[in-house]
Amino acid sequence: MREITIAIVQMKSLLGEPEENLVKMSEQISTIASQQKVDLIVFPELITSGSELGLRFTEVAQRIPGPTVNLIAQRANDFGIYVAFGMVSKEKVESVLYNSAVLVGPDGELIETYNKVHLRGEERMAFREGYKIPVAETEIGNIGLCLGYDLAYPEVARTMTLEGAEIICAMANWEASNIDEWKTYMRARAYENSVFVAGANRVGEDVTLTFGGESMIVGPRGEIHASLADETDEETGAPLEGFAVARVDLDDVRKNREEYQFLQTRQPVAYRSIVRKY
Query: How far is the C-alpha of 4 from the C-alpha of 10, rounded, in Å?
Result: 20
Sheet holding 110-115, edge to edge: 110-115, 97-104, 82-90, 40-42, 3-10, 242-249
pLDDT averaged over every residue in the chain = 96
Per-residue pLDDT at 189 exceeds 80:
yes
User: Which one, of 118, 121, 119, 42, lies nearest residue 82 by Cα?
Assistant: 42
What's the distance, Cα to Cα, between the start and end of the chain in Å?
44
Query: What CATH superfamily classification does 3-275 receive?
Result: Carbon-nitrogen hydrolase (3.60.110.10)
pLDDT confidence tier of residue 231, bands split at 50, 70 and 90: confident
Q: Specify the pTM.
A: 0.97
Helix/strand number for the chain, H first, E second: 7, 14
Q: Among the residues of 119-162, which ranges form H helices?
A: 123-126, 154-162
Residue 92 pLDDT = 80
For position 243, what pLDDT does the model report? 98
CA 113 to chain centre: 12
pLDDT above 80 (res 180): yes
State residue 43's pLDDT score.
98
